[in-house]
Chains A and B, each alone.
Chain A
């Protein structure tokens, strides 16, 4: 015997496709009730009617309604109801997706990246611009102070004095104002990036506590976004986590046979970037393996890592460093 059901009714068929038992949804066919039913069905669960029939005939096999020949067609009003409800259900699900940390993290990470890039590009433009008028200025040494200095001072005389150099060129007041406007924009862009970064770190700490503890929230967030979500990151092998963020060199390795990358995003961790080149590969390998464990802890409801686990990993980093140094 077979059980088939949709949002309107449930039926039991015998071996010869004859209806043995039937249960029709008797409730008020309101939009909200129908949406609820569609949601239940979408998750693969039984409706009330199907459950009633299952209780009456415990030994029945569920089959899809599309394999039943004479399943009752939708009436025009039912068709309209289904269309309305599927629209509402899709809307609800899109709204639910907006509260998912994976999607939110993706936007935060991209926004931080973009605003940092913009701020840097504007700054290098500004430094070159100011440097043209102040030839005696050492723009490499004082690079970081120039934007702030431009903001603080009102004209080029003052700026030159502030930066301890002479002004010999004549600067058009309009251009001077333009330079000032740009410096304000850079400061604004930097503070924007900081605000976004703080939000990103906060979310990463709650979404990926162990991974954030291990690698810091920024790297954890980047890894999660590169892997297209936490659940996928948790299913990746450590070797892939190690080179996430190094896709360019990884695919050039596969296609052209160049050297494989040793590290992707995790390179930004000081354990790797501050280590001598010869050790980086080993540390990256170990750290990626630990990161794989950490993210699985986060994804599958393990206890978040604390200082104890961090200290253990740090000890291992120390062991690799001393072992490599002895050689």
Chain B
């Protein structure tokens, strides 16, 4: 997916990741799949028949990654299947849904949202009933067997954001089993959740490359999320 810039008007630069996600000046926007509905009070903007919803990088690590990334887009393809481990309350999932599924899932995408907390899945269930294409799964990501019934084949895109002390090993295990060849995988790592917090990022990078992944980019989320790093790898 190419990231290309368009100049529009005076000084208001637009950068498109796809026709559903774009950067406008310094803010990120996704095309709202559910018109008129703002999930957590994000700003909505009308533009002809399209409606754009602001994607807050403070509450979403993918948004922060998109804004700070210097490489190609880390988003999945529209209409594809995504595995999202550690869905939380579904803020990022909703924007991902804008991009992957679109209104009434006319793009035919699937997002498998896994979280261990019933409190979080409760919110994702509410989300998925108005946004078809999201599969809420209440499961422990460390137990791959409990996730696999919801996948029919390997998927081209995986995102993992779970606060576990061995999350890098878990990420490798998950990708070996579920990520298709050439697929993109993103690991969000907080140095404080690792036992050895000082060298955590370097250690993670080594472990990932040793496991046979190609590291595309290491995105430091400083400014949006402190001590967080987003690893963008390709299998």
> CB within 8 Å of B: which residues of A?
6-7, 38, 41-44, 64-67, 71, 73-74, 79, 82-83, 86-87, 90-91, 93-94, 97-98, 103
Contact A83 B132 (CB under 8 A): yes
A43 / chain B contacts, CB cutoff of 8 Å? 146
A90 / chain B contacts, CB cutoff of 8 Å? 121, 124-125, 136-138
> B148 an interface residue at 8 Å Cβ cutoff?
yes
Contact A91 B125 (CB under 8 A): yes
> B25 an interface residue at 8 Å Cβ cutoff?
no
Known A-B contacts A90-B138, A94-B138; the reply to A66 vs B177 at CB < 8 A is: yes
Complex Cα distance A201/B42, Å?
43
> B139 an interface residue at 8 Å Cβ cutoff?
yes
> CB within 8 Å of A: which residues of B?
110, 118, 121-122, 124-125, 128-129, 132-133, 135-139, 145-146, 148-154, 177-178
Contact B153 A38 (CB under 8 A): no
Contact A93 B118 (CB under 8 A): yes
A87 / chain B contacts, CB cutoff of 8 Å? 125, 128-129, 135-136
Add 7 more A-B contacts to A41-B148, A94-B125 (CB < 8 A): A7-B149, A42-B139, A65-B151, A79-B110, A87-B129, A87-B135, A90-B137
Contact A73 B135 (CB under 8 A): no
Q: What is the minimal beta-carbon distance from A71 to any residue of chain B, in angstroms?
A: 6
A86 touches which one: B122, B129, B136, B177 (CB < 8 A)? B136
A–B Cβ pairs within 8 angstroms, 12 of them: A6-B149, A7-B149, A43-B146, A65-B148, A65-B153, A66-B178, A82-B152, A87-B136, A90-B124, A90-B125, A94-B122, A94-B125
Across the two chains, which residue of chain B brings its CB closest to A44?
A: B145
Q: What is the minimal beta-carbon distance from B143 to any residue of chain A, in angstroms?
A: 8
Complex Cα distance A71/B118, Å?
32
B150 touches which one: A67, A71, A86, A91 (CB < 8 A)? A86
B110 / chain A contacts, CB cutoff of 8 Å? 79, 83
A94 touches which one: B121, B132, B146, B152 (CB < 8 A)? B121
Q: What is the minimal beta-carbon distance from A51 to any residue of chain B, in angstroms?
A: 16
B151 / chain A contacts, CB cutoff of 8 Å? 65-66
Contact A38 B177 (CB under 8 A): no
B148 / chain A contacts, CB cutoff of 8 Å? 41, 64-66
Contact A71 B152 (CB under 8 A): yes
Contact B138 A71 (CB under 8 A): no
B152 touches which one: A42, A74, A97 (CB < 8 A)? A74
